[in-house]
């Protein structure tokens, strides 16, 4: 398609929902809905410090990243068996398919589970089996990214990598998440170098709450191919130029940023600024069960709050998500064609 078809503004919400899209920033433990937490707690005989689903939901009032992480790690304690990880991932992928997610690159935090005595094999086998079944059942392409917890040591990350060695066929890359401030990327230089030698893709959370220096570190020291969040990049013009020139994607998560008070309101989110600077920004859900929305909720609410965002941006964001994906070129091209067909359809029917 050479020129973008004209889309009537009132058709934009439908178009956002119907567009095929890749979700590149989703923590599978962050898709654990309160109802599933209670169901798994019952199934596994785990005691919870909340009386019911409503009481747990009421605790989801966050002031910053750490206030969220404390509750998020506690919620994950109900995941014990391979079937639990399977059920969790299959539920997310089924939900994603209804949002027209054609590709999901899913983070998991093995150290959250291995620290409780759950084996790496239990985690990865359950998640992987869900990815395989979701492809057959919903036509969604899915892959796993193992994320190291940055509040733990590099030695702990090395031990985690060692446990994952027999399962690397099921893992496309590694990431870095958890408490950002005080834990710069440099802390993990050696383990990421080893992961790259092993042929794994490399991404890292940086510039969510942390300064632009952490984004530079993720690029120069970890050699990250994508930056997760990265919204603080706007405070450093040279960094913005570098990200644009090298087409380093940012996996932006607007509802997460709002709920963790990175931006006071969605209307103040800098997504339009990132796109205007030519950055390969994408829209993602991060931890949808905790932040009140899956990927289409992120698109819908962000576009509603920011009138500067138009059908042209919707197009660019979906396109960026395919460009930023680690899927094979043929698959990415096929999704791009579906995107073009979707836009044509929304233009014609108006």
Tokens matching residue 288: 């949808």
Report the distance separating Cα 186 and Cα 216, nearest Å.
10
Q: Of these residues, 33, 208, 209, 225, which one is catalytic?
A: 208
Q: Shortest distance, CB of residue 44 to Zn ion, whole angstroms?
A: 26
Residue closer to ligand ADE, measured from CB, 62 or 315: 62
Q: Shortest distance, CB of residue 149 to ligand ADE, whole angstroms?
A: 8
Q: Does 65 bind ligand ADE (CB under 6 A)?
A: yes
Report the distance separating Cα 181 and Cα 183, nearest Å.
6
Give the 3-state secondary structure of residue 201.
Answer: strand
User: What x-and-dash track marks residues 269-308 binding ligand ADE by CB under 6 A?
Assistant: -----------------xx---------------------
Residue closer to ligand ADE, measured from CB, 72 or 322: 72
Residue closer to ligand ADE, measured from CB, 57 or 151: 151
Question: Please, how many CA atoms are within 13 Å of residue 123, restricted to the half-sphere of its CB?
Answer: 32
- Element (H or E) spanning 315, and its range? helix 311-324
Pick one of Zn ion, ligand ADE, none as the site partner of residue 79 (Cβ within 5 to 8 A by kind): none
Pick one of Zn ion, ligand ADE, none as the site partner of residue 65 (Cβ within 5 to 8 A by kind): ligand ADE
Nearest CA to 13 out of 309, 272, 289 is that of 309
Count the residues of the shown chain that bind Zn ion, applying the rule CB under 5 A.
Answer: 1
Query: What single DSSP character describes residue 169?
Result: G
Let me know if 244 is exposed, middle or buried by CB neighbors in 10 A (0-12, 13-18, 19+).
middle
Residue closer to ligand ADE, measured from CB, 126 or 230: 230
For residues 205 and 25, the answer to whether their CB atoms sit within 8 Å is no
Q: Shortest distance, CB of residue 45 to Zn ion, whole angstroms?
A: 30
Q: Does 29 bind Zn ion (CB under 5 A)?
A: no
CA distances from 198 to 114, 171, 189, 275, 343 (A): 22, 11, 15, 33, 40
* Catalytic annotation present for 208: yes
For residues 140 and 96, the answer to whether their CB atoms sit within 8 Å is yes
Q: Does 23 bind ligand ADE (CB under 6 A)?
A: no
Q: Does 99 bind ligand ADE (CB under 6 A)?
A: no
Cβ count within 10 A of residue 223: 14
Which residue in 30, 126, 185, 254 binds ligand ADE (CB under 6 A)?
Answer: 30
Footprint (CB under 6 A) of ligand ADE, residues 148-187: 177-178
For residues 159 and 152, the answer to whether their CB atoms sit within 8 Å is no
For residues 331 and 345, the answer to whether their CB atoms sit within 8 Å is no
Report the distance separating Cα 255 and Cα 295, nearest Å.
9
Which residue in 262, 286, 293, 342 binds Zn ion (CB under 5 A)?
Answer: 286
Q: Does 109 bind Zn ion (CB under 5 A)?
A: no
Residue closer to Zn ion, measured from CB, 82 or 109: 109
Taking CB positions, which residue lies at the least distance from ligand ADE? 177
Active-site positions? Answer: 208
The residue ranges that bind Zn ion (CB under 5 A) are: 286
Binding site for ligand ADE (CB under 6 A): 27, 30, 65, 72, 177-178, 205, 208, 256, 286-287
């Amino acid at each position: 398609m050479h020129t973008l078809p004209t889309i009537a503004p009132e058709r934009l919400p439908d178009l956002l929902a119907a567009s095929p899209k890749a979700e590149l920033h989703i923590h599978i433990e962050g898709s654990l809905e309160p109802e599933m937490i209670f169901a798994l707690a019952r199934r596994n005989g785990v005691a919870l410090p909340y009386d019911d689903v409503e009481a747990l939901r009421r605790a989801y009032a966050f002031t910053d990243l750490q206030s969220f992480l404390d509750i998020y790690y506690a919620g994950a304690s109900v995941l014990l068996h391979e079937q639990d990880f399977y059920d969790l991932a299959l539920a997310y992928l089924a939900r994603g398919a209804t949002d027209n997610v054609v590709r999901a690159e899913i983070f998991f935090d093995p150290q959250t589970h291995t620290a409780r005595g759950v084996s790496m094999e239990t985690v990865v086998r359950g998640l992987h089996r869900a990815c395989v079944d979701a492809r057959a059942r919903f036509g969604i392409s899915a892959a796993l990214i193992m994320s190291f917890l940055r509040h733990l040591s590099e030695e702990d990350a090395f031990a985690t990598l060692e446990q994952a060695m027999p399962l690397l066929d099921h893992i496309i890359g590694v990431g870095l998440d958890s408490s950002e401030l005080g834990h710069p990327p440099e802390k993990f230089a050696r383990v990421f170098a080893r992961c790259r030698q092993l042929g794994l893709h490399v991404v890292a959370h940086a510039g969510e709450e942390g300064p632009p220096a952490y984004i530079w570190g993720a690029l120069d020291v970890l050699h990250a191919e994508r930056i997760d969040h990265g919204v603080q990049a706007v405070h450093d013009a040279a960094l913005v130029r570098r990200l644009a020139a090298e087409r380093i994607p940012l996996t932006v998560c607007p509802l997460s940023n709002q709920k963790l008070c990175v931006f006071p309101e969605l209307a103040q989110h800098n997504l339009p600024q990132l796109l205007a600077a030519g950055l390969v920004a994408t829209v993602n859900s991060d931890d949808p069960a905790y932040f009140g929305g899956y990927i289409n909720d992120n698109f819908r609410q962000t576009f509603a709050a920011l009138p500067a965002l138009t059908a042209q941006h919707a197009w660019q964001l979906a396109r960026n998500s395919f460009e930023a994906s680690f899927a094979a070129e043929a698959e990415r091209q096929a999704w791009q064609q579906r995107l073009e067909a979707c836009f044509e359809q929304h233009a014609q029917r108006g």
